[in-house]
Every structure is written in structure tokens, then in C-alpha cells.
Structure 1
Amino acid sequence: MFSKFLNLDKEKQQRVLNAALKEFARKGYDDASTIEIVKEAGISKGLLFHYFNTKKDLFLFLYDYSMKIIKTEYFDMINTKDKDIFVRLRQVYLLKIELIHEYPWLFQFSAVAASTDSKDVKKELESRKLEMESMGFAKMFENIDESKFKKGIDVEKAKNIIFWAIGGYTNKVIEEVKASELEEPDYDKVLEEFDAYLDILKVWAYN
């Protein structure tokens, strides 16, 4: 379906993809402008719709493209030999930072897509989102040493709380970047803050 676009040279593909990811990440599906995308990408609007028939096709292509990268270059790279959940989470966060340097708008776009209420794309995203969320949870908690958790704590509920807390923190950082018009946050400062939250969670969850 998107063979014309996929046959482009990689540099041009990347320009179009990054421009579209940036526009959708900043404005959401409904308010994103294809005019802004083509300006940023340095192509004509007619050419964009030569590659993608509609704005909806472009958005769904971007979602599938983003999820493929997140799976192969993020989830599949998690070292499950780290059995301490907090060591694992720190490793996961460092992987995310590396990926953001290569694809600056990838996670912001995926967060916006996951929370969109747009009638045009919401239905098509539902099954895709569930699949990705379950994959993320499974990879983060695979082979975790549960003996470190406090006696009497409901480990499965504790895992959910940790997962939600980390997800909430990530969304907070994304919203701050969008509000500040910056392309990337100060990752040293963010990592320091992230470590502080991990320490609090560790005191709460572990013996």
C-alpha cells in the first residue's frame, strides 16, 4: 500500500517521517497540519499525498512504523538477565534516551496516539495499543526476582503500581517538552529525577 514511499531513499524517507512525527506529536491528529509537515520535510503537498492517500493513512502508517521501532530497538533490547526490577527499569530508561536521540519525536508521537480521542483513528488504534501495552508490561517484568518484595505485599499489584508510576513520569516529561517547545529535555536532570523516584518506589516495595 505504501510501496511508493518505501521505495524512496532513506534520507528522504526520514525527513518526511520526522516531520510528520513532530507535527502529530505537538498538535495531535485533528489539529496537525499536512501543510506544516510538507514545509518541514521540504516536499510538496501533492507528493505527500502521492505517498499516502490521506492524512489518516499517514497517521496510521506512522503509528505502525513507530511501534515496529519501539519493539525492535527498545523492547527487544531489554536485558532480562537484570532480575532486580529497579535495575531493569533504569536500564529501560537509558535505552529510551538512546532511541530518542535517534528518533526525537517517536515516544511523544506514540503517547499522543495512545491517548487520542479522534474519531478518525481511535477505533483503528485500539487493538494496536492493547498489543503494545501488554508487550511492554511483559518485557519489563519478565524473570523479575520477586523475593525482594516485602513480605505480605501483593506482588502483581505492586508491579502495576510501579508500571503506572513510571509511565506517568514519562508522560510528565513529554508534556513538559511539548509545553516548552524544546525538542529534547535535559536528560541528565531527568535521569537524576527518575533515579529519585525509583529510590522512593524501592523503599516502598522492597524489604
Structure 2
Amino acid sequence: MYSSFEKLPKDKKEKIVKVCIEEFGIHGYKKTSTNKIVEKAGISKGLLFHYFGNKKNLYLYMINYAVQYFSKLFKNFIEEAHEDDIFIRLKKWGLFKIKVFSQKPKMYKFLTKAFLSPPKDLENEIQQIYHKIYSNNIDILVKDINVEKFRNNINIDKAIELLLISLDGITNKYLKEYFGNEDKILYDMESIIKDFDECLEILKWGFYEKK
């Protein structure tokens, strides 16, 4: 479907993607103007629709582009995450997400907005994309963890689910706090790590056997 676009020179292709993700991230699907996109990208409207067909396909392409970009980073993270302690792994994952956000804030905002507030006429397609990557990534994230460290009187699956929700809460706090000031994240990383340690230590004593 997008073969004409995929054949473009890399720099031209990346410029169009950058503009689309910025515009959709700021204005959302409904309010984004394709006229503004073509003006900023330096192409004609006819060419834009030649590449993507319509605005719906353009939006879905950008979602899949962002998903593939972040999935590749996630794969690289997993290849280096050898700890079998879920708290150590989740801490590293949370900090990794914050660092990725600091590097690609506009893409992160675009994808988050698309998943949390999908346009009604694209809701089914976007939810399918989200559920597929979420279930796959979560399974990979918690693979081969040492469940023997958990207390023997709790439901392991429920415990992991609660830990993931808690981690998202800690991470999202910083994503909101630093949005628009992403450069500050690296300077404040020491205090962020300390906060992660304190929060996860509290959770740890609720789930792990006490030694």
C-alpha cells in the first residue's frame, strides 16, 4: 500500500514522518490539517495522498512507524536485561522508558495520545495494534523472572500485574513532569533513580519473602 512512500530517499521520507508525527501529536487526528503537513514537509497535497491514499491511512502508518521504532528499542533493552529479579528488571525498564522519552518526546507523545484517546472511527484498528504489542512486550518483559522470591501465599500473576501498574504510575509521573523540559531529565537522573529505588523497595517487601 505504501510502496511509493517507502521508495523515497531516506532524508525525504524521515522529514515527512517527522512533520506528521509532530502535527498529529500536537493537534490529534481530527484537528490536524493535511494542508499544514504538506506545507511544513515541502511536498504537494497530491503527492501526500499518492503516498498514503487518505488521512486515515496516513495516521495509521505513523502509528505503526512509531510502534516499530519503540519496539526495536525494547528488543535491544531485553537483549541486555539478564536479571531474574523482577524489581531490578522493572527499575531498569522504567528508567529506560524515561531516557527514550527524553530523546523522542514528540513521538512518545503522539503514540501515547493515539493509544489513550483514539479517534472513534479508528478505535478498533488502534486498539488491535495496542493490545498486540502490549501483550507481546509484557510477556517478554517478565520472561524467566525468579518467582521463587515471591511470598508463597500470593497470586504471582496478580502480583506481577500490580507491579507493572505501579511501575507505569512512577514512570508516567516523570513523563508528565518533564514534558517540554526533556533536557533536564539527564541532569536529574540521580534523584529519579533514588525515587525508583525507594518506591520499588516498598513494593518489594509486600511481595517478596522476608529474609
Q: TM-score w.r.t. structure 2 length?
A: 0.81
- 1:200/1:38 CA distance change after superposition, 3 Å: farther
Distance 1:149 1:199, change over 3 A: same
Partner of 1:11: 11
Q: Map 1:118-133 onto structure 2 (within 5 A).
A: 118-133=119-134
Of structures 1 and 2, the one with the larger relative CO (CA 8 A, separation 6+) is: 2
The 3 A distance-change label for structure 1 pair 85 and 44 is: same
Match of residue 184, structure 2, among 183, 186, 189 = 186
Q: Runs of 4+ in structure 1 displaced over 6 angstroms? A: none
Work out the CA distance in 2 between the residues paired with 1:121 and 1:147.
Answer: 43
**In structure 2, what is the Cα distance between the partners aligned to 1:183 and 1:56?**
31
Tell me the secondary structure at the aligned position of residue 15 of structure 2: helix
1:125 and 1:59 map into 2 onto residues whose CA distance is 10
Q: Sequence identity of aligned pairs in percent?
A: 32
Distance 1:98 1:171, change over 3 A: closer
| 1:71-98 alpha-carbon deviations (Å, 9 max, x no partner) | 2221453135211112112322344355
Unpaired stretches in structure 1, ≥5 consecutive residues: none
- Deviations, residues 31-87 of structure 1 (Å, cap 9, x unaligned): 233334334434343332232221111111111122222222214531352111121
**Higher deviation after alignment, 138-147 or 103-112:** 103-112
Aligned length: 204
What residue is the counterpart of 2:23 in the other structure? 23
Q: Distance in 1 between matches of 2:34 and 2:176?
A: 22
Partner of 1:56: 56
* Matching residue of 2:73: 73
What residue number does 2:138 align with?
Answer: 137
- Secondary structure in structure 2 of the residue aligned to 1:105: helix
Shift of 1:117: 3.9
Contact 1:2 1:51 in 2 (8 A): yes
In our comparison, the structure showing a higher alpha carbon Rg is 2
Aligned AA (2:51) = Y
Go from structure 1 to structure 2 and tell me whether the alpha carbon gap of 1:165 and 1:81 turns closer, same or farther (over 3 Å shift): same
CA contact (8 A) 2:102 2:185 kept: no
- Residues 60 and 117 from structure 1, CA distance in 2 versus in 1: closer, same or farther, beyond 3 angstroms? closer
* Secondary structure of 2:121's aligned partner: coil
Counterparts in 2 of 1:161-180, with a 5 A limit?
Answer: 161-176=162-177
> Taking structure 1 as reference, are residues 137 and 42 closer, same or farther at Cα in structure 2, changes over 3 Å only?
same
Partner of 1:87: 88
TM-score after normalising by structure 1? 0.82
Tell whether the 8 Å contact from 1:108 to 1:174 is kept in structure 2 after alignment: no
Unaligned runs of 5+ in 2: none
The answer to whether the aligner puts 1:113 opposite 2:114 as a matched pair is yes
Q: CA deviation at 1:101?
A: 5.5
Q: Is the 8 A contact 1:29 1:59 kept in 2?
A: yes
Query: AA paired with 2:45?
Result: K
In structure 2, the partner of 1:205 is: 207
Letter matched to residue 24 of structure 2: F
